Structure 1
Amino acid sequence: MTASDGPIDLEDLTGKAATLDDVANRAGVSTATVSRFINNPTVVAKATAERIREAIAETGYIPNLLAGGLASSKSKMVAVLIPYLTDSIFNDTIQTMVEELSSAGTTVMLGLTGVSEARTEDLIRAAISRRVDAIIFTGPVTPNVEQMVRRSPALFIQVWDLPEDPIGIAVGFSHHAAGRDIARFLMSRGYRRPHVVTAQGARAQMRRNGFVDEWTASDGIAPTEAHVEVPSRFGHARRIFAEIRRLDHMPDVVVCGSDYLAQGVIVEALAAGLRVPEDIAVVGFGNSSIAGEMRPTITSVEVDGARIAREAIAAIRNRKGTALPPDRWIDVGFRLVARESA
């Protein structure tokens, strides 16, 4: 088929990876030209490079950059993709993964996706190009990511979440249930005017929904709310606390999406002459080291990040061929840790 024959029917490629021949046929060039473009795009004429680039996008072709070139061989490489490292709730998980995988002779490729879908897709593509044995992922799955991953033999592991239909396997917990249990805990402690601060991310939104659903169903009055960018951090607290002071009714508890934000709210409250938790209580999330060291110590939700890492590693080690494990959902649960701040 040549370029004039029209686009490749992607349905014909379902379940298998596009090949160098597919790209060459679509672009109307030789496979050698495609190879030269992949290795060094500047050596190919501009118009030709553009045709090849379009053909790669249309076919979904991902080059094999694994030394030796055999897609069936084990690369002993695992890609771990997270949004960010600063003030990250994923740090314990990442540290355990890197330590245990490295000790077993596996190379870990750590990628920071941020909140950009394009960057996420580029990193997924780069990982598959190097024929990694597994991709450990914490972000939202876009249609392009799903398409790439389903064509790859790499084991795709979604962590810190339990989607209804994971592409590969999922190791995490219910964020909706975590939000629900925070609401139940605060009600049992007598709080009545919560203010919920939610980061602009899918998991944080699920926790927010769990909290609001439970609170509204039990109390009948929706909590006041605010939103922050991801990642939520200490520095957001000044704006959040200023907004709280302008509310018609001062909340008696602030529910934060991270311990770092909770720490900032506590500092702002104390600076304003308020007592925590007597005048205003604060709840965090993640049970970071700061939660137990802050004064007052921070009530938070603990997730066993190290166990998430161990379960993901076990799935990689126990995998037979390209078949998925029989148990595609591993629920590690969570634990609410009550401390001085609430």
Structure 2
Amino acid sequence: MSEAVQPKRKARPRRAGVTMADVAAEAGVSMQTVSRALRTPQTVSPDTLELITAAIRKTHYVQNLAASMLASARSLTIAAVIPTLSTSIFADTIQSLSDMVGRKGYQLFVGNTDYRLDREEDLIRSLLGRRPDGLFLVGTRHTRGSVSLLKRAGIPIVEGWDLAPQPIDRQVGFSNDLAMDAVVRHLAASGRRQPVFAGVVRPGDSRARQRRDGFCAAAQKLWPEDEPRLIDAGDLALTMDAGASLLDRVEAQHPDADAIVLSSDITAAGVLFACIRRGIAVPRRFAITGFGDFEFARHLVPSLTTIAVPTRRIGFEAGRLLLGAIAGDTAGPRTVDVGFELIERESS
């Protein structure tokens, strides 16, 4: 019996493209010089680098980064894990981080967790599979699985926005507890005695929880005879629309309240708008405070008292820590406290 004749497979067509040799020929230099200019441009004279750059633009050359990664054992990428993409306060941090690492030739890729620690663990595993040279995370609370993955990754890790007693590697942030202490003391100094914390504290949002706990600790110090007044609205979304519901709960559960402390400027604005619609005087009836110093906070009427966080500096410092660690710097600080500022405005 004769064997069946298998049809011949068509050869896969070679992709046409500009090569490094084409760039070298256009610039009038060797391929080794082009390679060196791409990998370590500081080692090439400015005139030669200008020739090569012009040749790259003229020929539309695209560097084969996969080959470069194999040769250098580096991906020239940084991964970032943030809670949400919808809040500009994290966008400022990520933009600053991207600007910082971009100056050294690193690309940033970002994933969001929607404040879910299980999703963070899956995301960390996925991102580490792409072999980034460093990783930035918003927050210092993680699942055991995430901590194990991060500790075994063998790359620099920077946690941001919180300050943990024992960071995984490096961290840059501020104390949410001390920030809330400053808010409560400000309210007490202005004559308030019955403040209520009204926060959208969702599972996984450790920063909102720290703000709530910081409020409780400060209130107990100032008024030890009273139980701290709390509205813990984890069932609501972190939106301005939640403000009316938060105000309803404050008035129903704590009718004696004279100040409303919010865990975010977003919900603080919602409460303020609800007060205006109902004819409730701010700050005469309620002092209102937020957290974050979003751009709109100073444009509200009345303008919003809040905590300002140096969001862009967090990204800058995170980038500096990552780049330093990638370069082998073990002598620099492993914790950077960027602090915060209480911004007193008309709402309190």
Interval containing the TM-score (normalised by the shorter chain): 0.7 to 0.9
Conserved? CA contact 1:89–1:288, under 8 Å: yes
Match of 2:233 in 1: 228
User: Shift of residue 320 of structure 1?
Assistant: 5.2
Which residue in the other structure is 1:98 paired with? 98
2:149 is matched with: 148
Q: 1:252 aligns with which of 246, 249, 258?
A: 258
Write the distance in 2 (CA, Å) between the matches of 1:223 and 1:298: 23
CA distance in 1, matches of 2:104, 2:242: 40
Q: Equivalent residue for 1:308?
A: 314
Give the TM-score normalised by the residue count of structure 2: 0.75
Deviations 1:6-49 (A, max 9, x none): xxxxxxxxxxxxxxxxxxxxxxxxxxxxxxxxxxxxxxxxxxxx
The alpha carbon displacement at 1:148 in A equals 0.9
**Amino acid in the other structure paired with 2:133:** D
1:183 aligns with 2:184: yes
- Correspondence for 2:164: 163
**Which one is further off, 306-315 or 219-228?**
219-228
Deviations 1:137-163 (A, max 9, x none): 014221111111111122111000111
Deviations 1:221-262 (A, max 9, x none): 123211233862212111111112223524111000110100
Alignment of 1:32-47 (within 5 A): none
Kindly name which structure, 1 or 2, has the bigger radius of gyration based on alpha carbons: 2
Deviation at 1:176, TM superposition (A): 1.1
| Secondary structure of 1:137's aligned partner | strand
Match of 1:213 in 2: 217
Q: Kindly, what percent of the aligned residue pairs are identical?
A: 31
Evaluate the alpha carbon distance shift between residue 271 and residue 105 of structure 1 in structure 2; reply closer, same or farther with a 3 A threshold: same
Question: Given residue 109 of structure 1, which amino acid in structure 2 is its aligned partner?
Answer: F
Letter matched to residue 227 of structure 2: A
Deviation at 1:86, TM superposition (A): 1.9
| Cα distance between partner residues in 1 of 2:303 and 2:253 | 26
Offset from partner CA, 1:187-229 (integer Å, 9 cap, x none): 1111111110122321211122122112112212123211233
User: For 1:246, what is the secondary structure of its paired residue?
Assistant: helix
Contact in 2 for aligned 1:244/1:250 (Cα 8 Å)? no
Kept after mapping to 1: 8 A contact 2:158/2:322: no
Matches within 5 A, 1:190-201: 190-198=191-199, 199-200=201-202, 201=205
Give the one of 325, 333, 336 matched to 2:339: 333
Query: How far apart, in 1, do the equivalents of 2:331 and 2:304 lie?
Result: 38
1:107 counterpart residue number: 107
Alignment of 1:277 onto 2:278? no
Q: Map 1:106-145 onto structure 2 (within 5 A).
A: 106-139=106-139, 140-145=141-146
Aligned partners of 2:102, 2:228: CA distance in 1, in Å?
46
- The alpha-carbon distance between structure 1 residues 134 and 265, as it changes in their structure 2 partners (threshold 3 A), is same
Distance 1:316 1:71, change over 3 A: farther
Deviations 1:84-138 (A, max 9, x none): 1223532221121223333442111110111223321121112211111111101
CA distance in 2 between partners of 1:193 and 1:331 (Å):
31
Distance in 2 separating the partners of 1:248 and 1:105: 55
**Partner deviation per Cα, 1:56-91 (whole Å, 9 max, x = no partner):** xxxxxxxxxx94574971211011110112235322
**Structure 2 letter corresponding to 1:213:** A
Q: Distance between the aligned counterparts of 1:269 and 1:71, measured in 2?
A: 62
Contact 1:83–1:138 (8 Å) recurs in 2: yes
- Give unpaired runs (5+ residues) of structure 2: 1-64
Show the counterpart of 2:24: none
Q: Distance in 1 between matches of 2:237 and 2:252?
A: 24
Which stretch shifts more, 228-237 or 127-136?
Answer: 228-237
- 3-state SS in 2 of match to 1:191: coil
- The whole-number CA distance in structure 2 between the counterparts of 1:76 and 1:171 is 22
Q: 1:117 to 1:210 in 2, by over 3 A?
A: closer
Question: CA separation of 1:246/1:142 partners in 2, compared to 1, >3 Å: closer, same or farther?
Answer: same
Q: For structure 1, which segment, 103-112 or 303-312, has the greater mean C-alpha deviation from structure 2 after superposition?
A: 103-112
For the aligned residue pairs, the C-alpha RMSD in angstroms reads: 2.1
Matched residue type, 2:208 = A
> Aligned pairs, how many?
277
